Amino acid sequence: MITSRNVKELTAFVVFLGVTHYAYYKIQNNPNLVHPNQRAELFYVRWLKEAFPALKKYGIQEVPKPEH
């Protein structure tokens, strides 16, 4: 059963994830903190982009690494 407490806890969790996601990408997109060649996606964003190819155009564009 869903209680008021469950809704509050879930809301707090979603807000926490949203804030950490925003902060991570704010840091990643600051060239004074992270060099553009060193940028990386969060693991769940990378998974979403692989699962849904239409999302690949959003976020940090990964350059394919040359195979040796």
pLDDT tens profile 17-39: 999 999 999 999 899 998 888 88
Round the average pLDDT of the chain to a whole number and report it.
89
pLDDT over 80 (residue 66): no
What is the DSSP track for 1-37?
Answer: ---HHHHHHHHHHHHHHHHHHHHHHHHHT-TTTS-GG
Both structure tokens of 11: 């809301």
pLDDT for the residue numbered 51: 94
Per-residue DSSP letter, 61: P
